[in-house]
Structure 1
Amino acid sequence: MTANEQLLSQVRAKARNDHPWGRTSLPAPVDRETLSRAEATLGFPLPQLLADLYARIGDGGFGPEYGLLPLLDSSPSEESSAVAEYVGRRGWSRDDPDWLWPEGVLPISHWGCGMYACVDCRTPRSPVLLYEPNADDPEHAWYVDAPGLEDWLRAWLDGTGWYEETNEGMDLTPWDAFRTRAQGTSTP
């Protein structure tokens, strides 16, 4: 079993038993057509691990705190989907140039108070970023939550994420690429 297969198996096992915010079951996985529609709307491909989470485990509803957002279609009881959040925030950025949303950075999980965990889909390792809009300015609203999506999932599985009560006071590193990416240029 490859490392990714093992990770997916561990996430699947925890997702079946851990339902954030009173959900009673895990949503069904998305089909290939839904993944294709999401990528077409976004204008970029999802990292393979993220696509596998949605296609092989469930359409959101699992993961740290509130869990992953649905990928493309949300139910009336859910606030939004990952794709809708990205599209809306990119549009909103045009109206407020001081708070530009970085190209290729997909919100995947809501933390409350406007905060989101986001995957940088344009960087090979798919770092997970924390968007904290309660900062004084956009330069101080972006942090590196985990160097890769795999690391972020392992922190959830192991209970070592910054959001765990036992880890209060953990400092996150600011995301230095914010300004470059918000202007629409890609990371090498």
Structure 2
Amino acid sequence: MTDDELVLAVRKLLVGRELPGPASAENVAAFERVVGYPMPKLLRRMYLEVANGGFGPWEAVSLTDTGDWFSDCADITTAYRDFVDPEHGLPPGIVPLMDRGCAMWTLIDFRTEDGQIWDWDPNLCCTRHASAPLGQSLAQWLIDWIRGEAHEGSYPDRVAATTSCQGL
């Protein structure tokens, strides 16, 4: 599926849902300055051409406070700043995208052009082992959602924490 086809498919899937309007290019640029990396092109298109949050299987966090909170955070900048604190220990450029509940998040890697998807699930062991790349691009992840194959709860293909984990 091309990026154009993905944007159209996501729009079609969201028909009838009351979502915020698209974000502005200024909103995208402001967040890129916070992260220090450019937003993956497909994600940029989702925010600029679909909606400023609310798209995806667990509703992407908005770039700005739209009044529609799709997590416990008003916007993605707040979520990102929460995740770059020393407790979470995520590398710069890994951005929390969707709050899946129960402390689980879907993250996206701004350091990669195709927006590699990561998992954050401290329920598996501890915060030190909570993050893991899934080896899946944003495009493939959206295709899974469109096909009804998005995973609830923990990702089944995720590498488990080491057996030496001592927890928190």
What TM bracket, shorter-length normalisation? 0.7 to 0.9
**How high is the TM-score relative to the length of structure 2?**
0.83
Deviation readout 1:100-126 (Å, 9 max, x if unpaired): 122111111100011111101102331
Higher normalized helix content (fraction of residues)? 1
Q: Secondary structure of 2:90's match? A: coil
Distance 1:141 1:85 in 2: 16
Aligned to 1:69, which of 56, 61, 69? 61
Matched residues, number: 159
Secondary structure, in 3 states, of the residue corresponding to 2:60? coil
Q: Is the 8 A contact 1:145 1:152 kept in 2?
A: no
Gaps of 5+ in 1: 20-24, 177-188
Task: Go from structure 1 to structure 2 and tell me whether the alpha carbon gap of 1:30 and 1:77 turns closer, same or farther (over 3 Å shift).
Answer: closer
Structure 1 residue 85 and structure 2 residue 74: aligned? no
1:162 aligns with 2:151: yes
1:55 deviates by 0.5
Cα gap change, 1:40 to 1:13, in 2 (>3 Å) = same
Q: CA deviation at 1:162?
A: 2.1
**C-alpha separation in 1, matches of 2:33 and 2:114:** 21
Q: Deviating runs (4+, > 4 A) in structure 1?
A: none
Matches within 5 A, 1:85-104: 85-90=79-84, 92-93=85-86, 96=87, 99-104=88-93
Instruction: Give the secondary-structure state (helix, strand or coil) at the position aligned to 1:147.
Output: strand
Within 2, Cα distance between the matches of 1:15 and 1:42?
28
Tell me the CA shift for residue 133 of structure 1.
Answer: 1.7
Which structure has more relative contact order (CA 8 Å, sep 6+)? It is 2
Q: Does 1:135 align with 2:121?
A: no
- 2:6 is matched with 7
The share of aligned pairs that are identical, in percent, is: 25
TM-score by length of 1: 0.75
Determine the C-alpha separation between the residues in 1 that align with 2:68 and 2:7.
28
C-alpha deviation, 1:72, in angstroms? 2.9
Residue 158 of structure 2 corresponds to residue 173 of structure 1 = yes
Cα RMSD for the two superposed structures: 2.4
